[in-house]
Structure 1
Amino acid sequence: MNKLQSPLYTIDPHIYCSGTILINDIPVIDWYGEETKSGGYLGGIDINNVLLQSGKYKVVGKMFPRNGMKTLTEDEALLIEFFCADADPRIWKSSKYKFHPKIESPWDGLSENINYPYFEIATEIEVELPFVLDGWQNSVDLSKLDKKFLKEKVFEYYRQIHIVLKEHNATKFLELSKEKQRLQEQAFYFTQERKQSFQQSLITLFNQNLELEPLNENELKLEFMGYGKLVRLMKVDGSHPLQFKSPNIKEQSNIELEIKLHLRTAEKGLSII
């Protein structure tokens, strides 16, 4: 195991299909919609914030057909590499190493003779972190609650967020997101300067006064994560329901805001984490 002072764990996925990658039963990337029609997703994703503490965690890569396709073909592929480095930018590059073997779909492609509507790759990783974050480990198991009642409560919370976004009220949104911010600041070892930079980037986004996509309850489905401790709403096409419209759709897609909710106690109610 590593002996880095501030270990930062990262996955590097190559997604040539539609799909989701989950760690600790939390989606860290959802890749769906028009963008999946050609090409793929490449880019490192920091994962300390979904690990929460040292231990062993399951990693699952879910492959689905590209947008407009009904099955996976021999041309679709998914690969995940695993890296760790010290979060200190001065030594990040020199300290980086692979902490787990890569996993991938069959190297020569899925069989052209089988119509796969879905394919999955999985492994278990072990990490060592210098903290135990107060996340959702001890929150209420939402999967045991009445689904219809829960969806109504979750949609009501999303509607409140939607109003805040429509008003471009960055201060209020930061207040609603303070649990998530605190967790991310600890997970990624944010300096005071980095905290301020993160908040300023959000304020800059809100100050663009971008138009907001409407929130239609009939287009949304309830999803459980974190082994029942987390919940979110997703559109049936796999995209996030809270989206700022792109100022130039030809150059960039809509800006999606990813929201996860938990219930620390019934008295405190749902909150963003």
Structure 2
Amino acid sequence: MKTKILIVLLFINLVSSCQNKTQPIMQNSEITEKNIVNKLASNIHHYDDEPMYQLLITNDWCSSEILVNDILAYKNFQEPLDGPTVDINNYIFKNGAQKVTIRLYPVGKYKNKDIDKFIAETGMSITVNEYNARTEKDKEIVKYSAPRKNDQRDSFEAIGKTYYEASFIFNATIPYKVEGFENARDLREWDAAILHKKLLQEYNKVKAIYQNKNYDNIARISYANLKNQVISKYQTREYINEVWEMLMEVYKLPTFEMQPIENYKMVFFADGKLVALMQDSKDSRVRGNSSLWAKFNRGEGIETLFCNRYFYIPKGETEFKIY
């Protein structure tokens, strides 16, 4: 009897061990938890002219998403009156025309009100600003304001509606070189059911990487996005190290727990070159975020971390790469 119990226990431990192991990510296979900071820092270059492009946003009585070159750069589903500054260099992949798209939605529930349609005071204005990190000088590139009805300053053009979208163009000149998605396949051309099945499999694989605390694989799937960010923002090794240590501190918490992949929709970005499973919820706490997310507790209450990963397939290939 004891022998049988021992065999059963060994079998259970073996199965558990196999389930906890995740296959190594082949993308960026040379990257590890220990060398990612040095690898990222080795890509940074500094220039006599280091422009930082920024969006200066005024958000009035609406929820909103702002995309730069069709990649989500800013979202606000919680504060109907907001005025942040957003750095957007990491969405600029080449010189020339850059496209900014705004998507506005009604505020919804706010305090004791339920604003389910645009009101007269709804609006948004965006100033594209160029700040030179070397000279600390800045200049206004272009200013956009959501149109008012009949040129009346106090009446939004889309008053009474539930969705508004508009775009404008500005020109940028950058000194750095980063990899964009011109050589990626247009995933909108795929059969939607096949693409969804393939993408969900990828999400479950990535979810397991985070949950099983496979730190080398986490470094590999983080590398491409972080690389573009640190290059385009002229970062320092010290800053990279600080950010990576902060992320790893969260990943290594015993309370770090990935959440179920559910209530999502498949969304395309970058003119169909990127795809993601995004939260399909009106809950302002999760709306506009990835369906890949975790909860954790550092001793001050429950916090959330959204692992906003995009997926693409290079031309001539059939398997996803992670951005």
The offset of 1:234, in angstroms, is: 0.8
1:54 aligned onto 2:54: no
* Partner-residue secondary structure (3-state), 2:181: coil
Residue 192 (structure 1) aligns with: 237
1:240 to 282, 290, 303: 290
1:124 aligned onto 2:169: yes
Residue 246 (structure 2) aligns with: 201
Instruction: Report the Cα distance in structure 2 between the residues aligned to 1:132 and 1:77, rounded to whole angstroms.
Output: 35
CA RMSD of aligned residues (A): 2.6
1:66 aligned onto 2:110: no
The offset of 1:105, in angstroms, is: 4.8
Per-residue deviation, residues 8-50 of structure 1 (Å, max 9, x unmatched): 1111223341121111111111333xx25xx444322211111
The offset of 1:168, in angstroms, is: 3.7
1:98 aligned onto 2:144: no
Deviates more, 1:236-245 or 1:143-152: 236-245
The offset of 1:224, in angstroms, is: 0.9
The offset of 1:65, in angstroms, is: 1.1
Q: Given residue 223 of structure 1, which amino acid in structure 2 is its aligned partner?
A: V
The offset of 1:247, in angstroms, is: 3.7
Q: Check 1:95–1:212 CA distance in 2 against 1; reply closer, same or farther (3 A cut).
A: same
Instruction: Decide whether the 8 Å contact of 2:266 with 2:277 is kept in 1.
Output: yes
1:14 to 58, 65, 68: 58
The offset of 1:56, in angstroms, is: 0.5
Deviates more, 1:76-85 or 1:96-105: 96-105
1:260 to 310, 318, 323: 310
Instruction: Report the Cα distance in structure 1 between the residues aligned to 2:258 and 2:190, rounded to whole angstroms.
Output: 31
Taking structure 2 as the reference length, what is the TM-score of the superposition? 0.72
Instruction: Report the Cα distance in structure 1 between the residues aligned to 2:104 and 2:274, rounded to whole angstroms.
Output: 22
Instruction: Decide whether the 8 Å contact of 1:73 with 1:111 is kept in 2.
Output: no
Instruction: Report the Cα distance in structure 2 between the residues aligned to 1:102 and 1:46, rounded to whole angstroms.
Output: 17
* Partner-residue secondary structure (3-state), 1:245: strand
Instruction: Decide whether the 8 Å contact of 2:127 with 2:141 is kept in 1.
Output: no
Instruction: Report the Cα distance in structure 1 between the residues aligned to 2:301 and 2:163, rounded to whole angstroms.
Output: 31
The offset of 1:265, in angstroms, is: 3.9
Aligned length: 259
Residue 213 (structure 1) aligns with: 259
What is the correspondence of 1:148-159 to structure 2 with a 5 Å cutoff? 148-159=193-204
The offset of 1:252, in angstroms, is: 8.1
Residue 229 (structure 1) aligns with: 273
Residue 185 (structure 2) aligns with: 140
Taking structure 1 as the reference length, what is the TM-score of the superposition? 0.84
What is the correspondence of 1:77-116 to structure 2 with a 5 Å cutoff? 77-88=123-134, 91=135, 94-106=136-148, 107-110=153-156, 114-116=159-161
The offset of 1:242, in angstroms, is: 1.8
Per-residue deviation, residues 88-141 of structure 1 (Å, max 9, x unmatched): 5xx4xx3122222243453424269x4211123432111001133222121111
Q: Check 1:42–1:165 CA distance in 2 against 1; reply closer, same or farther (3 A cut).
A: farther
1:160 to 183, 187, 205: 205
Q: Check 1:67–1:272 CA distance in 2 against 1; reply closer, same or farther (3 A cut).
A: farther
Instruction: Report the Cα distance in structure 2 between the residues aligned to 1:158 and 1:95, rounded to whole angstroms.
Output: 43
Instruction: Report the Cα distance in structure 1 between the residues aligned to 2:209 and 2:82, rounded to whole angstroms.
Output: 31
Greater C-alpha Rg: 2
Percent of residue pairs bearing the same amino acid type: 20
Unaligned stretches of 5+ in structure 2? Answer: 1-46, 110-114, 282-286
* Partner-residue secondary structure (3-state), 2:258: coil
Q: Given residue 243 of structure 1, which amino acid in structure 2 is its aligned partner?
A: W
Deviates more, 1:57-66 or 1:239-248: 239-248
The offset of 1:169, in angstroms, is: 3.7
Instruction: Report the Cα distance in structure 1 between the residues aligned to 2:133 and 2:96, rounded to whole angstroms.
Output: 19
